[in-house]
Amino acid sequence: MKTLPLSLLLVGLAPAAFAQTPATSPSPDVPKADASDLGKSILEQELEPPPGGYTYNAQGRRDPFISMIKPVAPQGSKGVRPQGFPGFLIQEVALRGIVKTSEAGIGSAAKPGYIAVFQGADPTKSFFVTVGQRLFDGVITAIDATSVTFRQEVTDPLSPVKTRDIRKSLYASEEARQ
């Protein structure tokens, strides 16, 4: 009983399936458009607003469809990072040690104070830095016996604060208390 309606359905659809015409081949006198031209024409058609359709006019406001999360880069740097310690972000360096210096040293150890030892992404390289040295997104403002303080340049355009102080401690337990 169930086979009868199924067979009637197949018999009814068979003429429609066989009645389709085969695809015609393109005539040889029509030049073929390459894929890039075809892609450009399709994009142009999609990007054109339909007549009487809606278009967005920013009028100086920020575009709500552009992500506000942007890579960290100070203004004017164009994202090119220099080599060495000045090319690191503050969150990319780890404080590994602090050395107290006296006046008897040479180079950066010639003045009394502290020198911080940082490690970057490469664990085989360490950097000895003093107060005033720049990083890609900030500067070292203070070094004491147990911590280093940075002044980070905030790149969020909506933030009223343009800089913030970040402190990295030599001991993890001190950082947890802050």
With respect to residue 129, please indicate whether it lies within any of the assigned structural domains: yes
**The domain that contains 118 carries what CATH number?**
2.30.30
With respect to residue 30, please indicate whether it lies within any of the assigned structural domains: no
For 135, other C-beta atoms within 10 Å of its C-beta total: 22
Q: Which of 99, 111, 116 is nearest to 168 (CA)?
A: 116
With respect to residue 152, please indicate whether it lies within any of the assigned structural domains: yes
Residues 14-32 as b or e (16 or more Cβ within 10 Å = b):
eeeeeeeeeeeeeeeeeee
The pLDDT score that the predictor gives to residue 178 is 61
With respect to residue 14, please indicate whether it lies within any of the assigned structural domains: no
Helix (H, G, I), strand (E, B) or coil at 134: strand
- Domain extent for 166: 85-170
Edge-to-edge order in the sheet of strand 134-135: 134-135, 138-143, 147-153, 163-169
With respect to residue 149, please indicate whether it lies within any of the assigned structural domains: yes
With respect to residue 138, please indicate whether it lies within any of the assigned structural domains: yes
pTM for this entry: 0.53
Higher per-residue pLDDT: 134 or 34: 134
Distances 25 to 4, 29, 43 between C-alpha atoms, Å? 41, 12, 26
> Does 15 score more than 80 pLDDT?
no
pLDDT tens per residue across span 83-128 = 889 999 999 999 999 999 887 666 766 778 899 999 988 888 999 9
Q: How far apart are CA 65 and CA 15, in angstroms?
A: 51
Can you list the positions of beta strands (E) in the chain? 94-101, 113-119, 126-129, 134-135, 138-143, 147-153, 163-169
> Does 24 score more than 70 pLDDT?
no
Q: How many domains does the structure of the chain reveal?
A: 1
Tell me the one-letter amino acid at 93.
V
